[in-house]
Amino acid sequence: MERKTFNPLEWLDKPDQPVKVTEQSNYNTTTQLEDVERIIQDIEASRIDVTSAYSDWVNIGFAFADEFGETGRNLFHRVSQFHPEYSIQECDKQFDNCMKARGQGVSLKTFFFHAKQAGIPLATPKQERQDYSPASKSEYQSKNLNTQAENKKEPDLMPTFPNSLFPELPEFLQKVIQIATSNEERDILLLGSLVAISACLPKVSGIYDGKRVYSNLFLFITAQASAGKGRLVHCRQLVNPVHKEFREQAKLHKQHYELELAEYNANKGKVEGIEKPEKPPEKMLFIPANNSSTGAYQLLGDSDGKGLIFETEGDTLAHAFKSDYGNYSDGFRKAFHHETISYYRRTDREYVDIESPCLSTVLSGTPKQVAALIPNAENGLFSRFIFYYMNVRPVWKNVFASQTTNGLDDYFDTLGNEFFNLYSSLKAGQDVQFFLTADQQDQFNQFFGQIQEKYMSIQGIDYMATIRRLGLIAYRFCMIFSALRIMETGETSSKMICEERDFQASLAMVKVLVKHSSKVFAELPEDVQKPTRLNRKEKFLNKLPKHFNRQKYLEVAAALSIPHKTAEGYITDFCKSGLLHRESQDNYINTSIEDTQDSEDAKEN
């Protein structure tokens, strides 16, 4: 029987199922719109702000956009108007963003919840009595059972890789995934092993968009706590023998250095022209994420520009990037495209260039840890990552399901030794250049052209970088698959051509991964300029004139609903930071305003 080749292009244009949780309200109403209208009327009558928290405001916008479309805009304004910093323009801008990202799974239940928290009744006493009247008892029981059944439904889950993909994978990867006990576990073992291996394919490269690229990839597995992402750690064992070899080399270099240093110290001052030996490189594959920028670059440089950051807690890297001494985000982003990283070593007073760095990264963490590492999509870090959003299934996992004889550690150690043979062979051999066939190149361009058009309309221009880098990621998938085929054939040559099954497998994976990236992208703290809504301090500064006294700044504070004590604290902070200058007692100068505004202030006064 002829096996059908899996072709992602056949199902590229199939419509996505909306990611939306089915929820039922727990009160009796005629229509949802009438319910919302009645509640908003109560909010308006009481002049209550139910949007005081930024996240609540955004989620109410999503709920109205998802349920009512453009009709929800007016409702959103009416709910938002009682916030002290309400702005028509800002409110419209936020609702536009909600409309663009419809399908977030935020239902009207979110709005009803916040209204109830604010003391707004969700049902009139008459309705409540009617719900429990004897005449409607059987009807109520029927509705209640239906509601319970609906509430037990799982939300629409993120897609996993198709089953047809896995029999086509290289045999080594099939061994990696065969211990998986769920689709999600199978997927993260595949992705984790690909990215770990991507750091250990020496001398394998290809030409993509006119530039030489290597196989290196960045991965972030995200899920709620206890979702099962911990299985990812075994992928580290696949390349641990490579790390051990690096450390053995470093140990030998250190021993040699210590002998030379002892000889130098013995002959110092006795033998002319003797030079102090240089410290040997500290070679390693696994580069700690918790590092200073200079430390990270030096370890990468010591290992010939090659390394792997493998952290099971994504906020380890996030904390490093946020510190003054450890912000190597710029070099991290450059490494994805093998761009030269330059840094200065103060101890040796030496300027160092790392040319064509080859860095791979495996991270896992909760959605909040993603946001901590990548607060927005602007700086390009988001688009460099493969994202996989794990589904959380509320079922007990069979903890005895693994059929390995001596446990998973021994199993993956054995696989690591198998892969080390390939690594050693590639390292000792000639340079290998990877190619797609002409037909594959045509399919590739067609596939990503359609994906770009589709997701540009869903997520907008900010998502274009993600689509374009997914193209490079797919190319690197093909490269890694092709290199692993060497373990089956034992044949290497200077020219490595991608097999059709590996090409189709790469596209199949991207078809799923683009949806995962889209979900994570939609959940980022959006570039809706959160500070412009909440940062009263900045607004206060901007409203202050060039010259003012205490009475004047308290008038400005009152207009912005800022308490007097808070305003006094702001003034103190501004003076300390140099934004204001206290010229004399109760006489301030706003140094953040250009002198040209002085005359304008005078005219107004």
Phi/psi-derived region of residue 214, left when phi > 0, alpha when psi is between -120 and 50, beta in every other case = beta
Element (H, E) at 559: helix 550-559
Helices within 47-167 (DSSP H only):
54-68, 72-80, 88-100, 108-117, 125-131, 137-152
Retrieve residue 446's tokens.
């067609």
Give me the pLDDT at residue 128, please.
36
Cα gap 564→239, rounded to integer Å: 61
Exposure on the CB side of residue 75, measured as CA atoms within 13 A: 25
| pLDDT at res. 554 | 93
Q: If you write DSSP's letter for every residue of 151-178 in order, what string do you get?
A: HHSPPPPPP---GGGGGGS-HHHHHHHT
Question: How many alpha carbons fall within 13 Å on the CB side of residue 352?
Answer: 22
Question: SS3 for 505?
Answer: helix
Mode of pairing for the β-strands spanning 341-345 and 350-354: antiparallel
Q: What is the amino acid identity at position 10?
A: E
Q: What is the pLDDT of residue 105?
A: 64
Per-residue pLDDT at 49: 85
In contact, 524 and 377? CB cutoff 8 Å: yes
Give me the architecture of the 535-604 domain, per CATH: Orthogonal Bundle (1.10)
Please tell me the predicted confidence (pLDDT) of residue 500.
Answer: 96
pLDDT of residue 352: 84
Among positive and negative, which fits the CA dihedral 285, 289, 295, 298? Answer: positive
CA separation for the pair 108, 35 (Å, rounded): 10
Q: 531, 563, 532: which is closest to 87 by C-alpha?
A: 532
Mean pLDDT by 10-residue block, N- to C-terminus, for the chain (605 residues)? 44 41 36 84 83 82 86 89 84 85 71 82 47 36 38 63 93 94 92 97 96 96 75 93 94 92 87 86 91 86 92 81 75 90 75 91 88 79 91 68 73 95 95 96 93 75 85 97 95 93 96 90 63 64 90 91 88 81 86 50 40
pLDDT for 555? 93
Q: What pLDDT is recorded for position 256?
A: 92
